Amino acid sequence: MSIVFAFLHHLAAFVLVAALAAEMVLLKGEVTPQIARRLARIDALYGASAGILLVVGLLRVFYFEKGAAYYFHSAPFIAKLALFVAVGLLSIYPTVRFRRWSKERVVPQADLPKVRRTLHLQLAGVVLILLCAAMMARAVGFFG
């Protein structure tokens, strides 16, 4: 069962990264109402994958891997969890914009730079999460 949850965890992570990349590509040019609706659908996939990633990750921590006591004595794990929360909080702004834009006849192009910056910050957070995962795999920063 541990293998199944590891697979689901990795699959959700790859879907999350793919959705974030797709949003960034769609935001390269002018955003039309049609693109805004596509962004809203992709962002829903991004949110669903984040939810699955969190639930499956926590199930792995508490039931399928080394146990919560081990993970909560790992600095990279704590950093990974904090970064995940930070990326999740950052994702609120683009989500709100995408949903609003998908209902409008004209997308306000003035919003685009801030949304793009926010997506870049999210991507940077995801990259740092991957670094923390690699560190966890090598037991770097374990203080228990």
Domain boundaries, the chain: 2-137
| Alpha-helix residue ranges (DSSP H) falling in 27-111 | 33-59, 68-71, 75-90, 92-103
Per-residue pLDDT of the chain (144 residues; tens, 9 = 90+): 889 999 999 999 999 999 999 999 999 988 999 999 999 999 999 999 999 999 999 999 999 988 899 899 999 999 999 999 999 999 999 999 999 999 988 888 899 999 999 999 999 999 999 999 999 988 888 776
- Residue 89 CB coordination number (10 Å): 11
